Structure 1
């Protein structure tokens, strides 16, 4: 396939991907497929001209962000923040009583959670945020999650190009990297701007994006959600505060948890590959190498409605499964502990729990957020199965032993345990179950294996004794 056709395919893939993002509320649109007949008659390239026109407008005034330190990496974060703020738009200031209401709700939630878990209160600073505050406070953690994915995407995109194309773009690589950085920045900015108006708490969706030591609620976003529920606003605030307080207990007192989530994303990113063969096949069939403007216009019209997004997968399936399971275990534990803490104190607790399940099913879930913001594709975490597992574990061994499972990542249930919890629970029922002893035994086993491997290597590398040869 010619380089011109490949360029058209790549541009259409980017535009198609961005258009799809725009249709569900995340991202920038090039508006390809505009059906203005008069304009198309005057412009033989139709939608291609519109695409380039808007692309030029996008570049206007962005020189400062491209040259800033924030614009030099795989993602132009200065551009992302700028677009996110524009996307958020006008934000009503927090009311005078919002902070006090949030503090009191979290204080009550902590009191009730004490009877549902042995993990102590986080001791965090409690804050009420608006959308701009959420964007500013959570951006550092989003950078940790997004950067490795964007860097590997750049590597994978270059690797997916034909050899002749790679040789020709070599001199333009720096410019292409800047354009890619801007593209990631635009997508991230639109995604974060949209999410900022919907998220309800600092660690919503089981993602610990709030700064360590901070528990946050977004009262304005919550009030919009409350309007769609037939529940008292105070009940909804207490319910949400309990969920946030429960998550923060995990993130504060399970020291390995946050880094395990981040490292799973990094491992997922390290295995990213891009398959564009279906795009190349489509373009080859359209014969874009003819150079005929009318033929190209017809081809562009045929491209409308086609899915030309590159197929992005990760070869690190273990990291994918670990991330899915960990997110499910966190939210499942929060579901179970929240309901246990509120069930006899808040009459609407069960109804609100069901409302949260519906929210997860309609896009308010970690997999949806990670897909739109971080560009990683995982299955929906099996939160309901995880909540049921935690409930059964508590029935079998009690609250204390249930929560000691969080002492070490190797003690946690895996994906198979979520489907078949009986065997996992059987392993906890022995009277001699001791989480610390289990960890110590595991570390001894790993140390012994390491020493054994080192001994074998030394033996293999040792020179032959000359005397042995003489004896022969």
Structure 2
């Protein structure tokens, strides 16, 4: 908003006296009543969450607390304040007062003021509706920053020490030797290393962006078209909003993309506290093969287990190295997994009925009511039959990857590592139940990144290995058409026998055809008896004549 030239900057203003209402910790100002930027007034100001909220620390970037978007959005407009409270200069409060009061001219003026405010530090500010750096409107730098902040909130995240890096490289050296005896897939190039949670976020963010960009774009579009603000559909008591639909739509799209980006950042931050290696979730999350472990998370994984820390590290390293070999050797697999995610995102739709209902019945002076209604259900995509089919294919593919890793690592560790058996069961239970981070990610994107049929897939690969050997098992990955389907997981032994029978039948047919050709070559004079062949007899009679 325009500023009085005689007015001092915010940081030079005298703090309000004890009997003055607080303003909620406006961006860039000092909060006189506490570090959370909420102030002491009855209005909730610009509260966008817990730690990291605007105010208090004087930061200009909206925070995003653990309550999710709903909790943060609730305080944006200042809430319903008793007489004499709140922030009289808050254009959002005046905007919604105009909506309720029916003053069209005042509405237009306040809408312009609201856009000016939002462009400077609200929805249009960093990370919240302003200047997305992609077609989806998501500001990925802010998303990454949110992910790192969420990861830091989980606890200490030190840069791996030289001793931890050396422990990982030593484990990789042993793992690669053992795997050489269990699979023909070669080792991947590159140097193994150790990452912190923050480094996992940095290194995997480009692939996450490629995976999630279509989802973010569809959600942003759905937000822009969520409300039918016109005619009989206009919310009761707010008829003037009908003419503002086109003006509001760009802001809604931008805000939807930004809200999704912030929640995605939170989800990735939580996920960084659970993954133990680069491809732990079953997806190739780096552009080039890279074996890396997260020592802090590996130590957390081993808490409460009877196995030693070195055994835990070695076993998880074996799984990571095996997975990297598979992705590098089956060149089509990486793109196939990413395409399945993109196919799912292409058909994403948002059930906006809850959003429309929340807005149509809300009190224009109480945005906290809207926030409470939206919290927890804003970004839950509605799955179409086509998407369900894609999800089934993705889950099957993830299960096949993990099942193959199970079988290869079981074979590799059998002669050397008794502790691998209980550790394998621990991994299966972990993958079957998932964690809070996976649940958060599933709610955000609609994808459950865990294989539901891991045990069936492991049994299938073991059966194929018994029938065709390790080389025959690995050969199945040579082409996507050869890979087992979900139906094959229902009958692992049948799939293995079918592959072996087809190979045996082909060999038998070839041998029979070859024997017939050799027999004809040895006996070229053999043929039908002229006395028994009428056509041959007629030819002989004509020669005699």
The answer to whether the superposition gives a TM-score over 0.5 is: yes
Given candidates 323, 346, 353, the residue that maps to 2:424 is 353
* 1:211 corresponds to 2:287: yes
- Residue 224 (structure 1) aligns with: 300
Residues 81-112 of structure 1: CA deviation (Å, up to 9, x unaligned): 11122222252232221111111101111111
Q: 1:72 to 1:280 in 2, by over 3 A?
A: closer
Paired with 1:271 and 1:254, the residues of 2 have a C-alpha distance of 27
Q: 1:130 to 1:304 in 2, by over 3 A?
A: closer
Deviation at 1:421, TM superposition (A): 2.4
- Structure 1: give runs of 5+ residues left out of the alignment: 1-14, 16-21, 47-51, 436-472
Paired with 2:353 and 2:255, the residues of 1 have a C-alpha distance of 23
- Residue 142 (structure 2) aligns with: 79
- Residue 197 (structure 2) aligns with: 131
Higher gyration radius (CA): 2
Does the aligned pair in 1 maintain the 2:151–2:272 contact within 8 Å?
Answer: yes
- Which has the larger share of helix? 1
Q: Name the SS of the counterpart of 2:481 in structure 1.
A: helix
Q: How many corresponding residue pairs?
A: 399
Paired with 2:316 and 2:67, the residues of 1 have a C-alpha distance of 25
Residues 133-157 of structure 1: CA deviation (Å, up to 9, x unaligned): 1111000000011101111222344
- Residue 404 (structure 1) aligns with: 475
* 1:391 corresponds to 2:462: yes
Given candidates 192, 200, 206, the residue that maps to 1:140 is 206
Deviation at 1:362, TM superposition (A): 3.2
Does the aligned pair in 1 maintain the 2:398–2:450 contact within 8 Å?
Answer: no
Given candidates 376, 382, 403, the residue that maps to 1:312 is 382
Q: Name the SS of the counterpart of 2:499 in structure 1.
A: coil
- Residue 188 (structure 2) aligns with: 122
Does the aligned pair in 2 maintain the 1:367–1:380 contact within 8 Å?
Answer: no
Paired with 2:479 and 2:423, the residues of 1 have a C-alpha distance of 31
Within a 5 Å distance, the mapping from 1:274-293 to structure 2 comes to: 274-277=350-353, 288=362
Given candidates 314, 339, 360, the residue that maps to 1:263 is 339
* 1:172 corresponds to 2:248: yes
Paired with 1:274 and 1:233, the residues of 2 have a C-alpha distance of 45
Does the aligned pair in 2 maintain the 1:26–1:191 contact within 8 Å?
Answer: no
Paired with 2:369 and 2:318, the residues of 1 have a C-alpha distance of 55
- Structure 2: give runs of 5+ residues left out of the alignment: 1-48, 50-63, 87-91, 94-116, 235-241, 507-545
- Residue 244 (structure 1) aligns with: 320
Please give the TM-score of this superposition, normalised by the length of structure 2.
0.64
Paired with 2:244 and 2:190, the residues of 1 have a C-alpha distance of 54
Residues 368-406 of structure 1: CA deviation (Å, up to 9, x unaligned): 475156443578531111111111111122111111000
Paired with 1:407 and 1:434, the residues of 2 have a C-alpha distance of 21
